Amino acid sequence: MIAWINVSVLISSVVLFAHFYIKSAGPAALEKKIGEKAYSVCTQYRVVASIFLGIAVFNYVLSYFYPLPLPLPRTFPWSWWGSALVALVIALLGGYIWFKGMKDAGEETMLVKKEHTLYKGIYTKIRHPQAAGEVTYWWVIAFLLNSPFLVLFSFVWIPTFYVMCLAEENDLIIRYGEKYLEYRKNTGFIIPKRSE
């Protein structure tokens, strides 16, 4: 019973995280309705989204102790150290991209501000480094918990983050217009574009 409740809360947390993050990614559209306070409202949405993200992490851990009765092994056939090594490799690769994206975005990572400019650094190569890095950490957690179910469940985050990135882009087009469209044309989504 606890396992099913936990997974239900996990699924709800994913949906609510995506909902509030998408709302947080629309300050320019919201500003047309409520004025400049849209940016502080969107920051509040982002904080709420982060809370649901934290709940999802807790649900992952709880899933290890209360696994669903599924026809999957509870752990991988190799030792926990093998899974920990896979988690470390993913964490290093994804963490580098995620950290660079947060560093180059600055406080805009959590604070939605009207006066920010288009990013520099890693953002000259890819448009969504934070999403590209952050999404990998669901596999880091899943492998650290040595859970085949969580490794499979983690694929749900790919379309979730993809939709969130599209929502961000729609608002950036409203904010920056042609300048952003040009940036988007010349910069890869999560993989750098090849030089022509």
Summarize the confidence of residues 136-150 as an average pLDDT: 97
Provide the pLDDT confidence category of residue 112 given band limits of 50, 70 and 90: low
- Residue 196, SS3 per DSSP: coil
The secondary structure of residue 195, as a DSSP letter, is: P
- How far apart are the C-alpha atoms of 182 and 195, rounded to whole Å? 15
- How far apart are the C-alpha atoms of 20 and 16, rounded to whole Å? 6
- What integer pLDDT is reported at residue 49 of this predicted model? 96
Q: Does domain 2-66+75-186 have CATH number 1.10.10.60?
A: no
Of 110, 158, 154, the residue nearest 132 (C-alpha): 158
Summarize the confidence of residues 33-43 as an average pLDDT: 91
- What integer pLDDT is reported at residue 131 of this predicted model? 92
- What integer pLDDT is reported at residue 194 of this predicted model? 73
Provide the pLDDT confidence category of residue 195 given band limits of 50, 70 and 90: low
Summarize the confidence of residues 55-71 as an average pLDDT: 94
- What integer pLDDT is reported at residue 36 of this predicted model? 86
Q: Is 163 left (phi over 0), alpha (psi -120 to 50) or beta?
A: alpha
Is pLDDT larger for residue 193 or for residue 96? 96
- How far apart are the C-alpha atoms of 59 and 19, rounded to whole Å? 18
Give the rounded percent of residues in the chain with a pLDDT score beyond 90: 70
Summarize the confidence of residues 127-151 as an average pLDDT: 95
- What integer pLDDT is reported at residue 145 of this predicted model? 97
Summarize the confidence of residues 74-102 as an average pLDDT: 94
pTM: predicted TM-score of the whole model, two decimal places: 0.86
- What integer pLDDT is reported at residue 117 of this predicted model? 66
CB 75 within 8 A of CB 147: yes
- What integer pLDDT is reported at residue 55 of this predicted model? 97
Which amino acid type is present at position 22?
I
Summarize the confidence of residues 94-113 as an average pLDDT: 80
Of 64, 81, 65, 57, the residue nearest 9 (C-alpha): 57
Tokens 């500003």 sit at which residue?
A: 31
- How far apart are the C-alpha atoms of 188 and 181, rounded to whole Å? 12
Domain ranges of the chain: 2-66+75-186
- How far apart are the C-alpha atoms of 113 and 20, rounded to whole Å? 17
Summarize the confidence of residues 21-46 as an average pLDDT: 92
- How far apart are the C-alpha atoms of 180 and 118, rounded to whole Å? 8
37 exposed, middle or buried (CB, 10 Å; 0-12, 13-18, 19+)?
A: exposed
